[in-house]
Amino acid sequence: MIEQALDVLSWILLTVGGACVFIGGLGALRLRSFYARVHAASLTDTTAALLIFPGMMLQSGFTLASLKLLAIMIFLLLTGPTATYAIANAALSSGLKPDAKPMDTDSSESAT
Amino acid sequence: MIFVFALFLLTLLVITAVAIVRTENLFVAVMLTSIYSLLMAANFFILDAADVALTEAAVGAGVTTVIFLSALALTADREKHRAGRRPLILGTVSVLTMLIIYATFEHPRLGDPEAPVHQHVAPWYLEKTPEYIDIPNVVTAVLGSYRGYDTLGEVFVVFAACIGVLFILGVRRGDAATPRRERTAGLRHHLIPQLVGRMLVPFIVLFGLYVQFHGEYGPGGGFQAGAIIATGVILYALLEGEAAALKAIPRSVLLGLVVGGASLYGAVGVTCMVLGGEFLDYSVLSDDAVAGQQLGILVIEAGVGMAVCGALLSIFHAFAARESQA
pLDDT digits (tens, 9 = 90+) for B191-212: 888 888 888 999 999 999 998 9
Instruction: Compute the distance between CA of residue B293 and CA of residue B284 in angstroms, rounded to an integer.
Output: 8
Instruction: Compute the distance between CA of residue B57 and CA of residue B39 in angstroms, rounded to an integer.
Output: 9
B108 has a pLDDT exceeding 70: yes
CA A112 to chain B, closest CA, distance in angstroms equals 9
CA B190 to chain A, closest CA, distance in angstroms equals 9
Let me know: does B289 contact B283? Beta carbons within 8 Å.
yes
Q: What are B26-37's pLDDT values in tens digits?
A: 989 999 999 999
Report pLDDT for A110: 45
Report pLDDT for A100: 55
B190 in A contact zone (CB under 8 Å): yes
Environment class of B144 (CB within 10 Å of its CB; exposed 0-12, middle 13-18, buried 19+) = buried
Report the candidate in B233, B209, B219 with the shortest Cα–Cα distance to residue B302. Answer: B209
- The residue in chain A having the minimum alpha-carbon distance to the alpha carbon of residue B187 is A86
Q: Work out the percent of chain B whose per-residue pLDDT is above 90.
A: 26
pLDDT band at B184 (very low <50, low <70, confident <90, very high): low
pLDDT band at B14 (very low <50, low <70, confident <90, very high): very high
Q: What are B121-151's pLDDT values in tens digits?
A: 888 888 888 888 888 888 888 888 888 889 8
Report the candidate in B6, B88, B89 with the shortest Cα–Cα distance to residue B44. Answer: B6
Report pLDDT for B180: 47
Let me know: does B226 contact B308? Beta carbons within 8 Å.
yes
Instruction: Compute the distance between CA of residue B323 and CA of residue B25 in angstroms, rounded to an integer.
Output: 20
Report pLDDT for A48: 93
Q: By three-state DSSP, how is residue B25 classified? A: strand
Work out the mean pLDDT of chain A and round it to a whole number. 85
Report the candidate in B39, B37, B69 with the shortest Cα–Cα distance to residue B56. Answer: B37
pLDDT band at B172 (very low <50, low <70, confident <90, very high): low
Instruction: Compute the distance between CA of residue B323 and CA of residue B185 in angstroms, rounded to an integer.
Output: 11
Task: Check A82 against B192: CB less than 8 A apart.
Answer: yes
Averaged pLDDT, B230-234: 91
Report chain B residues whose CB lies below 8 A from the CB of A42: none
Amino acid letter, residue B217: Y
pLDDT band at B187 (very low <50, low <70, confident <90, very high): low
Let me know: does B46 contact B5? Beta carbons within 8 Å.
yes
CA B14 to chain A, closest CA, distance in angstroms equals 20
A50 has a pLDDT exceeding 90: yes
Instruction: Mean pLDDT check: name the lowest of B6-10, B13-17, B60-64, B279-283.
Output: B279-283
Instruction: Mean pLDDT check: name the lowest of A42-56, B72-86, B175-189, B206-220.
Output: B175-189
Q: Does the predicted TM-score (pTM) go above 0.90?
A: no
Q: By three-state DSSP, how is residue B78 classified? A: strand
Report the candidate in B224, B190, B219, B189 with the shortest Cα–Cα distance to residue B204. Answer: B224
**Side-chain half-sphere of B159: how many Cα atoms within 13 Å?**
22
A5 has a pLDDT exceeding 60: yes
Q: Which of B12, B34, B196 to mutate to test the interface with A (most CBs of A within 10 A)?
A: B196
A109 has a pLDDT exceeding 70: no
The backbone region for B75, taken as left when phi is positive above 0, alpha when psi lies in -120 to 50, beta otherwise, is: beta
pLDDT band at A111 (very low <50, low <70, confident <90, very high): very low
B231 has a pLDDT exceeding 80: yes
Averaged pLDDT, B212-222: 83
Report pLDDT for B76: 78
Q: Work out the percent of chain A whose per-residue pLDDT is above 90.
A: 44
Report pLDDT for B219: 81
Instruction: Compute the distance between CA of residue A48 and CA of residue A18 in angstroms, rounded to an integer.
Output: 7
Work out the mean pLDDT of chain B and round it to a whole number. 84
Residue with the bigger pLDDT between B185 and B272: it is: B272
Tell me what ipTM this predicted complex has: 0.75
A20 has a pLDDT exceeding 90: yes
Report pLDDT for A61: 83
Task: Check B199 against A78: CB less than 8 A apart.
Answer: yes
B92 has a pLDDT exceeding 80: yes
Q: What are B235-274's pLDDT values in tens digits?
A: 898 888 888 888 888 888 998 999 999 999 889 888 888 8
Let me know: does B278 contact B268? Beta carbons within 8 Å.
no
A102 has a pLDDT exceeding 80: no
Report pLDDT for B243: 84
Report chain B residues whose CB lies below 8 A from the CB of A85: 192-193
Task: Check B190 against A78: CB less than 8 A apart.
Answer: no
Contacts of residue B116, defined as CB under 8 A and 6 or more positions apart, other chains included, come to B108
Residue with the bigger pLDDT between A96 and B313: it is: B313
Averaged pLDDT, B209-238: 88
